[in-house]
Amino acid sequence: MSFLERVDQTIRRSPVWRSIFRQPYPRDERSRAYAVMNNVFLHIHPVRVRQHAVKFAYTFCLGGLSFFLFLVLTVTGVYLMFFYVPSAAQAYDNILDIQSQVTFGLLTRNIHRWAAHLMVFFVFLHMMRVFYHGAYKPPREFNWVVGVVLLFLTIMLSFTGYLLPWDQIAYWAITIGTNMGGYAPLFNTPVSRILLGGVEVGQNTLLRFYVLHIMVLPLVAAIFLAVHFWRIRKDGGISGPL
Amino acid sequence: MSNYHVEPAAKPGALTKEAIKSLRKEQVEGLSRRQLMRVALGTGIGLWLLEVGAGTIGFIWPNLAGGFGAPIQIGALEDVKTANSTLPIDEGFPAYYAEARAFVILVDPAQQRFLPGEDQTGDGTALNVRALYQRCPHLGCKPNPCERNFWLECPCHGSRYDRLGIKADGAAYGPAPRSMDRFSITVDDKGVLTVNTGKITLGPLPVALGQPGLIPPRTPTGCI
């Protein structure tokens, strides 16, 4: 046995390695299936894939692309958070600093911005695809409802993020958006007060939208995404031609 | 066969509701223990959620005390002119006061002073001054006064008002459903104007161009 093989064996037989990887490297079909089932990152994949499921032109990977963009937005969003203070006095200057002073700041902000636009677009396309294929039909009707909630969360994430640059278009767009809520019956004024944190768009609104944008809505979206993916498996796998 | 082998007393059946019930010594009358626990737990969690929900709404409800919403002193006409020296205030051009979210406008430029008195409805003709709420009745943007045509024009969706906040009727003049809202105002004996930003009267219905009640624009084209 060569030296490298002995090192390899020592590592693989150590308690630490075996506490992380309980099974040896999967070399047959059964243990490969087992590896997929027992891995947290792989377990949302089915162990066996039906032939129709790998056909790109049926789903166009639209749901997967939406999720990919969600991940891109999470990562770039965390990067941007290091340089942004949700304060009416600082927010706009922070945006300018991100664009001109921070290394790769302009790139990061643009990725975040374009990924946000694309996510809304792809979620919409995903919904259209599911609709035109009738993929919302039983047993998938509940997952359609979860998807509608996710569409709403995506739009709200987009809406709350729109205010954060704190420039003129952001300020007046949110003024208009929250005033539209004023035309809704019954809950118009209370909802607008709670959302704005006052009678008009101001410091409180900026802070509230920031908290919703970076914490509350992504957290809720992550929970609904987990349920959405889990239901795909439970409802009979990825949808195929009826 | 070992001694430890025990023959089952009876062939096990499915654990149906009836099978479980028959195992009980006596039949349950009224509420069972299980039901009581379940209802108590459900009610408890329900009450707790209600409490947390109500508490959260109370927690995030904004505190509206102070600032906008209280009476705000603007000053006499001379003060308004001094503060806006670059604008033709004496011709009845709107002066903007950010703190009051208000436009202050001389109603009749022939008379260069505010007349003492009180106007709850904010019409202001008797006091020779009107204070308009900056909020466009359409969707809440701030119409800007245009020096070229002496009108107020909303940059968001193009609602247009004369200098006293009267909406010009018709889709060509924007989507706002009514004229700009007015604040209740008082002018004291020295001619000092105070705007009560807590009392707002809705603006009147739009007036067609050419009708009395709407001041025509000075130029056909405005600022937007």
pTM of the model: 0.81
- SS3 category, B105: strand
Q: Measuring CA to CA, which residue among B82, B121, B95, B127 is closest to residue B108?
A: B127
Q: What is the ipTM of this complex?
A: 0.72
pLDDT at B9: 65
Three-class SS state of A65: helix
Task: List the structure tokens of B174.
Answer: 């924007």
Residues in chain B: 224
Please give the pLDDT value at position B70: 83
Q: Write out chain B residues lying below 8 Å of A199, CB-based.
A: 64, 68-69
The pLDDT-based confidence of A192 (bands split at 50, 70, 90) is: confident
Report in angstroms the alpha-carbon separations of A110 from A76, A78, A93, A211, B13.
9, 14, 17, 21, 66
Whether the Cβ atoms of residue A151 and residue A70 lie closer than 8 Å to each other: no
Best of B60, B181, B202 to substitute, by most chain A Cβ atoms within 10 angstroms, is: B60
Contact A204 B69 (CB under 8 A): no
Buried b (16+ CB within 10 A) or exposed e, B175-193: ebebbbbbbbbbbeeebbb
Question: What are the residues facing B161 on neighbouring strands?
Answer: B152, B167
Q: Domains in chain A, start-ordered, CATH in brackets?
A: 3-38 (no CATH), 55-234 (1.20.810.10)
A206: contact with B, CB 8 A cutoff: no
Higher pLDDT, A36 or B3: A36
What per-residue confidence (pLDDT) applies to A242?
A: 63
Please tell me which of the candidates B64, B141, B155 has its beta carbon nearest to residue A199. Answer: B64
Residue A24 pLDDT grade (very low, low, confident, very high; cuts 50, 70, 90): confident
Distance CA A167, CA A92 (A): 6
Q: How does DSSP assign A102-149, residue by residue?
A: STTHHHHHHHHHHHHHHHHHHHHHHHHHHHHTTTTSTTSHHHHHHHHH
CB B168 within 8 A of CB B180: no
- pLDDT tens-digit map of A69-104: 999 999 999 999 999 999 999 999 999 999 999 999
> Closest Cα to residue B61, out of A194, A161, A105?
A194
Q: Which of residues 153-182 of B touch A (CB under 8 A)?
A: 155-156
Picking from B61, B68, B156, the nearest residue to A176 by CB comes out as B156
> Please, what sign has the CA dihedral across residues A41, A44, A49, A55?
negative
Note whether A26 contacts B: Cβ–Cβ < 8 A: no
3-state secondary structure of B122: coil
Chain B residues close to A193, C-beta within 8 Å? 61-62, 64
pLDDT in tens, B7-24: 666 666 777 887 777 777
> Is B209 touching A (CB cutoff 8 A)?
no
Bridge partner list, B185 = B119, B195
Res B2 pLDDT > 80: no
| Inter-chain touch B60–A200, beta carbons under 8 Å | no
Instruction: Look at B57 and A204 and tell me if their CB atoms are within 8 Å.
Output: no
Task: Give the C-alpha separation, B185 to B168, whole Å.
Answer: 24
Residue B12 is predicted with a pLDDT of 67
Q: Does A200 touch chain B (CB under 8 A)?
A: yes
Q: Specify the pLDDT at position A70.
A: 97
DSSP-assigned states of every residue in B150-202: TEEE-TTT--EEETT-PBBSSGGG-S-SSPPPEEEEEE-TT--EEEEEEEEEP
- CA distance linking residue A115 with residue A50, whole number of Å: 31
Cis peptide before B175 (omega within 30 of 0): no
Beta bridge partner(s), residue B72: B195
- Whether B130 and B102 have beta carbons less than 8 Å apart is answered as no
Residue A225, H or E segment: helix A217-234
Write the DSSP symbol of residue B207: B
Per the model's pLDDT, the better-predicted residue between B132 and A23 turns out to be: B132
pLDDT at B28 over 80: no
Given a cut of 70, whether residue B67 has pLDDT beyond it is no
Query: Between A105-132 and A141-163, two packed helices, what is the crossing angle to 10 degrees?
Result: 150
Mean pLDDT of A94-120: 96
Q: Are strands B102-106 and B117-119 parallel, antiparallel or unpaired?
A: unpaired
Cα(A181)–Cα(A192) distance, integer angstroms: 7
Q: Strand ranges (DSSP E) for chain B?
A: 71-75, 95-97, 102-106, 117-119, 129-133, 144-146, 151-153, 160-162, 182-187, 193-201
Share of chain A above pLDDT 70, in %: 100
Q: Is A172 within 8 Å of B156 when comparing Cβ atoms?
A: yes
Mean pLDDT of A34-55: 82
* B54 Cβ under 8 Å from any chain A Cβ: no
Reading the block at residue B112, the tokens are: 């260069």
* pLDDT for residue B75: 92
Average the pLDDT over B126-150 and give the result: 93
User: What is the distance between the alpha carbons of residues A63 and A77, in angstroms, rounded to a whole number?
Assistant: 21
Q: Are B102 and B197 in contact (CB under 8 A)?
A: yes
Task: Please answer whether residues B215 and B162 qualify as being in contact, where contact means their C-beta atoms are separated by less than 8 angstroms.
Answer: yes
The residues pairing with B209 across neighbouring beta strands, listed in sequence order, are none
Give percent of chain A with pLDDT exceeding 90.
68
Instruction: Enter the tokens of residue B134.
Output: 């900056």
Residue A79's SS3 state is helix
Bigger pLDDT: B101 vs A48: B101
How many contacts, defined by CB atoms under 8 Å, are there between A and B?
A: 36
Q: CB distance from B141 to chain A under 8 Å?
A: yes
Is any Cβ of chain A less than 8 angstroms from the Cβ of B140?
A: yes
CA distance B115 to chain A (A): 31
* CB contacts, 8 Å: B101 with chain A: 200
